[in-house]
Structure 1
């Protein structure tokens, strides 16, 4: 298990990829973001995207999955915020998204010596290495026990 003290600013992790299917795009869109370009392939052809695309929130949720799978060995206690969220390109059915995560800041907790905070920059890229989504996130990380 990696604790706060084991992690350095500049550390980078790359996830495996996740391929999103058309049925997932439509199901998510119907449930959470029912705009025609997420739910109706024919209507999506007349949209600004020219076809069916995943909701940006689905793209962010896929990134969350990739992040969790790629950091299971880190003593994360909870997320505390996301900043600078940007969607650069739409995620289309059949695209494979992978996540690059870099530690950009680290600070101990002022109120609890058992934890610290890490801020990470995340970039989700498709199979053509095009930037799809980017954001910064801050999480609470457990510190090593001190005597």
Structure 2
């Protein structure tokens, strides 16, 4: 979607997705090898979560993947600009099914006529309808002015 097609208050939902034990283990070993993500005995005996939990970074990555696969940003997406915040509000565990709701919270035309900034808020819930993550980020999108230009400068 082009920047001009977004409206503040518009809400999108991503397809639910399953977080598997294998994903948690593989991701954590590669990117976040803290014992609460990779060592069942440690996670049970020494953490407040009483067992293995997913890395929050896996949650962020998986939700972002679902959002991009939804196709809403489409080929008009230029780049993610920043995260305003990321809050992990409940642990994600193996076999949780997560659903993301994405709300457009702000729109800003940049000084470049070929791009606009969209700010979106993610609310991610599990199958128990518990919120597991809240985040807000901004992205740059193409404007409709790019349609008539042969090679616009983004």
| TM-score bracket relative to the smaller structure | over 0.9
Cα-to-partner distance string for 1:26-52 (whole Å, 9 max, x where unaligned): 111111111111001222111211011
1:64-108 Cα shifts (integer Å, max 9, x gaps): 111111234542111000012100001000001111000000010
How many correspondences in the alignment? 145
Structure 1: distance between partners of 2:73 and 2:64 = 15
Distance 2:71 2:64 in 1: 11
1:1-147 paired onto structure 2 within 5 Å:
2-46=1-45, 47-72=47-72, 74=74, 75-110=76-111, 112-145=112-145
Q: Which runs of 4+ in 1 moved over 4 A?
A: none
**Structure 2: gaps (5+ residues):** 149-154
| Aligned-partner Cα distance in 2 for 1:69–1:10 | 21
Give the whole-Å Cα distance in 2 for the aligned partners of 1:40 and 1:21: 16
Root mean square deviation of aligned Cα: 1.3
Q: Where do 5+ consecutive residues of structure 1 fail to align?
A: none
Between the aligned partners of 1:56 and 1:93, the Cα distance in structure 2 is 13
Higher relative helix content: 2
Report the secondary structure of 1:16's partner residue. Answer: coil
CA distance in 2 between counterparts of 1:137 and 1:104 reads 10
TM value normalised by structure 1: 0.93
